[in-house]
Structure 1
Amino acid sequence: MDRAAGVVYPLTTRPEPGQSLEVAPGVFWVRMPLPFALNHINLWLVDGPEGWTVVDTGINTRMTTDLWEQVFEATLGGRPVVDVVVTHYHPDHMGLAGWMVRRWEGARFHASLGEWLMARAVWFEVASGAHDARLSYYRKAGLTTDEIEGIHGRTSGYRKGVSELPQSFLRMSREAKVAFGGDEWQVLIGRGHAVEHVSLYSEKRKVLISGDQVLPRISPNVAVWPTEPDGDPLAMFLADMPQFLELPEDTLVLPAHDAPFYGLHHRVEALAAHHHDRLDAILTACRAGPCTVRDTFPLLFGNRKLDAQQLVFATGEALAHINNLVHRNAIRRETGEDGIWRFVAV
């Protein structure tokens, strides 16, 4: 058992690639590789009288499908997958949903409406002029010409990371309950990291499948994107987190990254404190003088060098905190003659 700053990790082992590890009665942990700095994702199998439920699917790579086949062989005992659940549209979660439903013909696919629609919007690239809007957004944020050129060279990898989308779905809604694995699971919807991120709580098992909404060591990325540059996702994220405090403190949390842990209430409170500290740091800087979005990066991320992908996430996360202060009338936005946004305290 490992302890770290209010979080307790009860398991001393992790499943090997292609294998699974039972972490609660009928709930199995599968760990798949990712081609990112965050190099793994946790996926979950739930056993039930009709067959198995898969919660999140991993990213679309040949390695992941091959490893899933090994898991099926080693864990399912010849019984089928009957339900596929996706917490949100990001490719490490949605990536193989279509493949999984097709692989297990007749499997039911579950998602929230917001995540279903967002996945389809991004996969089919329905937003016209999105590329020009992205470049304008990063210029206004105050990124350097070299940084913008690096981002300009990146293309959307969503279609590569997501094999296909299921053609129909069963909607999961806030405060509803869904039945799978011979059990009822309470649906908790969290906004900010995604549109309608689904977490699932089993009272009988005292288990929370938290996805990316509650992670044991890091905060999920809460970001403003070029498609909604005036949005306030941080307000939504902070507003939705207290619902997790209503669950028992001794709930076993099954996150999408890192490892299963106890300490749910501690993590919810620590995440809120983390973001409030960042808001205070930005407000203090804006009181000292006008700040661009780019100017706030050292306050949030230190002085480490950010590559093109990290710059995308950093810009969105910095602006999420800035916009929250703007919406609260703590700072205001001014646009200079150079077209760059600058923020000053009110």
Structure 2
Amino acid sequence: MDRAAGIVYPLDTRPEPGHSLEVAPGIYWVRMPLPFALNHINLWLVDEGEDGWAVVDTGINTRMTTDMWEQVFEATLQGRPVTRVVVTHFHPDHMGLAGWMVRRWPGARFHASLGEWLMARSVWYEVASGNHDARLAYYQKAGLTPDEIEGIHGRTSGYRKGVSELPQSFTRMSRDTPLRMAGDDWQLLIGRGHAVEHVSLYSPARRVLISGDQVLPRISPNIAVWPAEPDGDPLAMFLADMPQFLELPEDTLVLPSHDAPFHGLHFRVNALAAHHRDRLDAILTACGERPMTVRDTFPLLFGNRTLDAQQLVFATGEALAHINNLVHQGLIRREIGTDGIWRFVRR
């Protein structure tokens, strides 16, 4: 059992590649590789008895992932089929093999929230247009250097690569209707900010929360403003939705999408709120000293490490999420210089 600053990791082992590990009665942990700095994702199998199995999140679309799933099916399913596929949100490491999964298991139903279903389709088809003009203007206004913008502009979106195909129909999940799974009613908690309508699943009978990316034990989920909604305030949404997790029992076993299962839900929810408050305070102080571009705030949030093109995309979105939150609170204002770059000044 590992303990780390208010977080308790009850398991000393990780599932082997191509295999699963039972973490609670009838719930199995599958761990798949990712081709990013965040190099893995946790996926979950729920035993539904004679009916078959539910899969919660699917992994990214790579041949390695599908090959590993076939190994998991052989080692874990005991000859019973996958009958439902549940996706917490539209990001490729979660949605990536949903279409492949329901095609691989004919008759399996696909479950997602309406917001995530529509966002997946929007992003998947928008990528095909190849129109990067709005993105280019967004990064220019954020104050990125010409070389940084060129690196981002020359980078094609990986969504179609990371998501094999989208299921052609879905069963809607919403907070109003529990999901009946494995003989239990799972409460659906909707979180915004990291995604449009992220679904976490809580079983009162098992005291188990499949948290997706909404509550992670060591890192903060990316909260970002994107070029299509440059004035958005996703951080306000994220912070407004997090207290619902404090209503769950403190001894809940949390099954996150990254790292490992843990106890310490209330501690972690409060720590995430404090983390963002600290970032907001740092930016507010800096804007009181001089006008700050979005790019100027990077050292406050991410230190002085070098960011590659992919990391610059996420860093810009996350920095602007904190800046916009301060703008919406009326604590700073946005000015646009003759160079077209946004600068932010404390009121």
Is the shorter-chain TM-score for this pair beyond 0.5, marking a shared fold?
yes
Q: Is the 8 A contact 1:293 1:319 kept in 2?
A: yes
Q: Distance in 2 between matches of 1:282 and 1:215?
A: 24
Q: Distance in 2 between matches of 1:252 and 1:105?
A: 32
Matched, 1:314 2:315: yes
Q: Distance in 2 between matches of 1:183 and 1:147?
A: 50
**Moved beyond 6 Å, runs of 4+:** 126-129
Q: Is the 8 A contact 2:127 2:160 kept in 1?
A: no
Q: Is the 8 A contact 1:110 1:169 kept in 2?
A: yes
User: Which amino acid is 2:260 matched to?
Assistant: A
Q: Distance in 2 between matches of 1:130 and 1:343?
A: 28
Q: Is the 8 A contact 2:127 2:159 kept in 1?
A: no
Residue in 2 that maps onto 1:241: 242
Residue in 2 that maps onto 1:14: 14
Q: Is the 8 A contact 2:53 2:84 kept in 1?
A: yes
2:292 aligned counterpart, secondary structure: coil
Q: Distance in 1 between matches of 2:5 and 2:117?
A: 36
Q: Distance in 2 between matches of 1:312 and 1:71?
A: 34
2:103 aligned counterpart, secondary structure: helix
Residue in 2 that maps onto 1:251: 252
Q: CA deviation at 1:176?
A: 2.3
Q: Distance in 2 between matches of 1:160 and 1:305?
A: 26
Q: CA deviation at 1:299?
A: 0.2
CA RMSD in angstroms comes to 1.0
Percentage of pairs with the same residue: 85
Q: CA deviation at 1:174?
A: 1.9
Q: Distance in 1 between matches of 2:131 and 2:344?
A: 25
Residue in 2 that maps onto 1:77: 78
Residue in 2 that maps onto 1:112: 113
User: Which amino acid is 1:298 matched to?
Assistant: P
Pick which of 144-153 and 172-181 moved more: 172-181
Residue in 2 that maps onto 1:28: 28
Q: Distance in 2 between matches of 1:186 and 1:176?
A: 8
Residue in 2 that maps onto 1:194: 195
2:278 aligned counterpart, secondary structure: helix
Q: Distance in 1 between matches of 2:269 and 2:286?
A: 26
After superposition, residues 1-346 of structure 1 pair within 5 angstroms as 1-49=1-49, 50-125=51-126, 130-346=131-347
5+ long unaligned stretches in structure 1: none
Q: CA deviation at 1:175?
A: 3.9
User: Which amino acid is 1:88 matched to?
Assistant: H
Deviations 1:175-196 (A, max 9, x none): 4201112221000000000000
Q: Is the 8 A contact 1:51 1:181 kept in 2?
A: no
| TM-score, normalised by the number of residues in structure 1 | 0.99
User: Which amino acid is 1:245 matched to?
Assistant: L
5+ long unaligned stretches in structure 2: none
Q: Is the 8 A contact 1:175 1:188 kept in 2?
A: no
User: Which amino acid is 2:265 matched to?
Assistant: L
2:94 aligned counterpart, secondary structure: helix
Q: Distance in 2 between matches of 1:250 and 1:207?
A: 9
User: Which amino acid is 1:99 matched to?
Assistant: W
Deviations 1:210-265 (A, max 9, x none): 00000000000000000000000000000000000000000000000000000000
| TM-score, normalised by the number of residues in structure 2 | 0.98
